[in-house]
Amino acid sequence: MEDEALAGIASGLYARPLEDFVAARTAAAKEAAGSDKDLGAAVRTLPKPSAAAWAVNMLALHQPGVLAELADLGGRMREAQSSLDAGALRELGRERRVLLAAAVETARAVAREQGRGISDAMAGDVEETLRALTADEGAAAAVRSGRLLKALSADGMNTVDLEGVVAVPSALPPAAIAPSPGPAATVSRKTRTTTAGTARARPDRPRLEAVRQAPRPASPPALEKAKAALAEAQAAEAEAARAARELQDQADQARTGIAELIQEAAELRARLKGVEERLERSRKVLAATTAEAKQAVRAADKAERTAMLAQERVLRLGNTRG
């Protein structure tokens, strides 16, 4: 019951803006201590999440469907790895790249809605955490809890290190698929039982373990995991080669387009030069014609004055004879 109460308080704290966490934790611890001193002490020990973990928690709170889609993809990838299905791994790897890119953009948008931006470095941590979600069922439970404390990472070979990555791990839901009983599982359950008993004996120091109390699926043999990793790497190599060919084709098309534009520019420059030469000739013709027109106007004015003088003389001579 104490774990449930602590998990409820923790979920509320990790849903708040990052800069408000410390003050909110202090207030929550004081309120809890009023009715349960042990619970208040446990609240005071809740760690502040990293910026990347906070962004993932916001994604879990406001866009849980994004994480559910990635978790479903992770399950399908693990099935493909178990069957060493290279074709399926190739398709699922492509799907994961698309989903991860979209999820990071969604995380950016959610963080902006909460009044905080995500740097490129933080976005890289968010993407790596979401990649770990697809690689490990325990990581998926931690990420989807909304109480993540720090970013996760996965190498594709080993299970994700969950030491100290989530608050109140004992409140996480049990694994969807439990491993078949075996010596390793028996020892693991015995160890967890001992740990849980120790935690109950010391309620004033609640453990924020990273590994949930439910047993985790047994890892496949190392050889099978290596083969699965090889198949996934080969699928990624084929996808990278295909992408490289597409980019090379685009580069060739761009070079061809540039050559055509250079040729077109040369032709346009030649046409422009011809037009400029014709324009210059037209300007010279205009200037010459304008000068001739002015001379013609002056000659016409002079001829008009001469005609008027001649007419006046004729009139005078006519009057003299009369």
Split into its structural domains, the chain has a count of 1
pLDDT of 191 over the 80 cut? no
In this prediction, residue 210 carries a pLDDT of 40
115: alpha, beta or left, given left = phi > 0 and alpha = psi -120 to 50? left
For 148, the 3-state DSSP assignment is strand
pLDDT of 181 over the 90 cut? no
- In this prediction, residue 220 has a pLDDT band, given cuts at 50, 70 and 90, of low
pLDDT of 173 over the 50 cut? yes
- In this prediction, residue 314 has a pLDDT band, given cuts at 50, 70 and 90, of confident
In this prediction, residue 23 carries a pLDDT of 95
The tokens for 120 are: 């490129």
For 166, the 3-state DSSP assignment is strand
pLDDT of 49 over the 50 cut? yes
In this prediction, residue 161 carries a pLDDT of 84
Is 10 a member of any domain?
Answer: yes
Is 110 a member of any domain?
Answer: yes
What is the per-residue DSSP string for 239-281? HHHHHHHHHHHHHHHHHHHHHHHHHHHHHHHHHHHHHHHHHHH
Place of tokens 């002015």: 294
Is 275 a member of any domain?
Answer: no
The tokens for 320 are: 């003299």
pTM higher than the cut 0.85: no
Mean pLDDT (the chain) is: 80
Greater confidence (184 vs 42) lies with 42
Which residue range is the domain that position 133 belongs to? Answer: 2-219
Q: What is the pLDDT of residues 203-217, one digit of tens each?
A: 433 433 443 444 444
- In this prediction, residue 316 has a pLDDT band, given cuts at 50, 70 and 90, of confident
Distance CA 322, CA 203 (A): 152
Q: Is the dihedral of CA 154, 155, 159, 161 positive or negative?
A: negative
Q: What average pLDDT does range 170-181 have in this prediction?
A: 51
In this prediction, residue 215 carries a pLDDT of 46
Is 314 a member of any domain?
Answer: no
- In this prediction, residue 38 has a pLDDT band, given cuts at 50, 70 and 90, of very high
Q: What is the pLDDT of residues 261-286, one digit of tens each?
A: 888 898 898 889 889 888 888 999 99
Q: Which of 165, 146, 145 is nearest to 154 (CA)?
A: 165
For 199, other C-beta atoms within 10 Å of its C-beta total 16
| Angle, alpha carbons 16-26-167 (nearest 5°) | 60
In this prediction, residue 134 carries a pLDDT of 93
Q: What average pLDDT does range 32-59 have in this prediction?
A: 93
Distance CA 322, CA 318 (A): 7
Is 310 a member of any domain?
Answer: no
Q: What average pLDDT does range 7-35 have in this prediction?
A: 93
